[in-house]
Amino acid sequence: QVQLVESGGGLVKPGGSLRLSCAASGFTFSDYYMAWIRQVPGKGLEWISYMSSSGSTISYADSVKGRFTISRDNAKNTLYLQMNSLRADDAAMYYCAREAPGYGSGYYDYWGQGVLVTVSS
Partner 1 sequence: EIVMTQSPATLSVSPGEVATLSCRASQTVSVNLAWYQQKPGQAPSLLVYGASSRATGVPARFSASGSGTEFTLTISRLQSEDVAIYYCQQYNDWPIVTFGPGTKVDLK
Binding positions for partner 1, rule: CB under 8 A:
44-47, 50, 57, 59, 61, 95, 100, 104-114
**What's at 79, amino acid-wise?**
L
Shortest separation between residue 51's beta carbon and partner 1, angstroms: 9
Q: Of 17 and 59, which CB lies nearer to partner 1 in the complex structure?
A: 59
Give min distance, CB of 31 to partner 1, in A.
17
- In degrees to the nearest 10, what's the CA dihedral of 111, 23, 10, 52? -70
Least distance CB 15 / partner 1 (angstroms): 27
Closer CB to partner 1, residue 5 or residue 82? 5
> Among residues 50 and 68, whose Cβ is nearest to partner 1?
50
CA nearest 22: which of 66, 70, 88?
Answer: 70
CA distance 111 to 63: 22
- DSSP, collapsed to helix, strand or coil, labels residue 116 as strand
